[in-house]
A = this chain, B = another copy of it.
Amino acid sequence: MATSLRIDSFESTPPLNEPREDVIRVGVIGYGYWGPNIVRNFHAQEHSRVVAVCDKSEKSLRRVCQAHPEIPVTQDFRELIESTDVDVAAIVTPVWTHYELTKAALENGKHVFVEKPFTCTTAQAEELIELAERKHLKIMVDHTFLFTGAVKRIRQVIEDGTLGQIYYYDSTRVNLGLFQHDVNVIWDLAPHDLSIMDYLIKEKPEAVVATGERHLNGVADIAFLTLYYPNNIIGHINVNWLSPVKVRTTLIGGEKKMLVWNDLEADEKIKIYDKGVEMSGDVYKLLVSYRSGDMWAPRVEQVEALKLEAAYFVDCIMNDKQPFNNGIAGLQVVRTLEAADRSLQQKGKIVQL
């Protein structure tokens, strides 16, 4: 005879709020587009737990409860930031709130994981870096791409000299929307490339030229950045919210080899071409010869970047290490964005960095 269901949960998870030395307790502020990924990844780590989520929107909080019934939620960020049960504040909100929230979190003794771009101005970024230093707290700016298998592999082939001296970095990052109300397309899409370029290229950019146009809501929706580096290295970023197709393609030209990174490819994201140009002869009679050899697509690690980044931040906190994508890395990106904005407003006038 059939009986009523008396199946117990197979394994009970320990209470979340209970302090444990080997677990970093994360409070997440902001549960919009990216927040769920932050919550999922900090929650699934061995050495971290999400102990609270804050969002102004009731609807967003309902989504938290559905996905993670065990995580407490709140609409008041003060409650989260002032709680003694929280070690890290993960700030996943619009950029114009980063400064205020990060400052409050640091002042309450929390480490901060904050979305890119770090702040709206270099002054804000500098103030926060100084504050974190004084309080002996860590800041990590979420430049997720630096934790992807693709970017790590590219860094490797640059570092081991495969490409030779870098000639250029040329990225196209276009798609339809998402339109932001508060920032233009440069602040929305270019931080990815700016942080990647900082990570890959040893030299620092010296100046920026930005052009672009607005068509709909008063902020630029299409823009083109040129970055001048020492040693004739040049960077170029094409960002566009009005493209019918999504493109995520970066060409990196080097003296010895050249690389194409297509982030939309499932399997062969990076292709390295044994192609190049060689010049010989004196200045009056140059002889150009082309080299065209094999192409090679190295296997790229497939682990979710945010998972690695979350683990890395937890490790930095536990072992008191400075993350490489810290406030200073975030400041560097904000400085270039600020300069790009200034150049854009003056229709391409060069702005020194």
Contact = CB atoms under 8 A, between A and B. Distances in A.
A217 B285 CA distance: 10
A297 B298 contact: no
Contacts of A299: 274, 292-295
Given A179-B277, A348-B226, A83 B242 contact: no
A134 interface: no
A168 interface: yes
A108 B217 contact: no
A72 interface: yes
A157 B53 CA distance: 47
A343 to B, nearest CB: 8
B9 A69 contact: yes
A52 B177 contact: no
A156 interface: no
Given A209-B348, A277-B179, A288-B177, A73 B9 contact: yes
Chain A contact residues (Cβ within 8 angstroms of B): what range? 35 or more
Contacts of A44: 66
Specify which of A9, A244, A274 lies most central, judged by the most chain B CB atoms within 10 Å of its CB. A244
A212 B234 contact: yes
Contacts of A179: 277, 286, 288
Contacts of A319: none
A277 B177 contact: yes
Interface in A49-102: 51-52, 58, 61-62, 64-66, 69-74, 79-80, 82-86
A121 to B, nearest CB: 23
Contacts of A236: 211, 222, 224, 238
A62 B11 contact: yes
A299 B241 CA distance: 20
A213 B242 contact: no
A211 B213 contact: no
A86 to B, nearest CB: 7
B232 A10 contact: no
20 contacts: A2-B84, A2-B109, A7-B73, A9-B69, A9-B72, A13-B66, A168-B242, A176-B275, A176-B292, A211-B236, A213-B232, A213-B234, A217-B286, A242-B253, A242-B277, A244-B251, A244-B258, A244-B259, A244-B275, A294-B296
The 9 A-B residue pairs whose C-beta atoms are closest, nearest first, are A7-B72, A209-B348, A244-B273, A244-B258, A211-B226, A213-B234, A5-B85, A5-B83, A295-B297
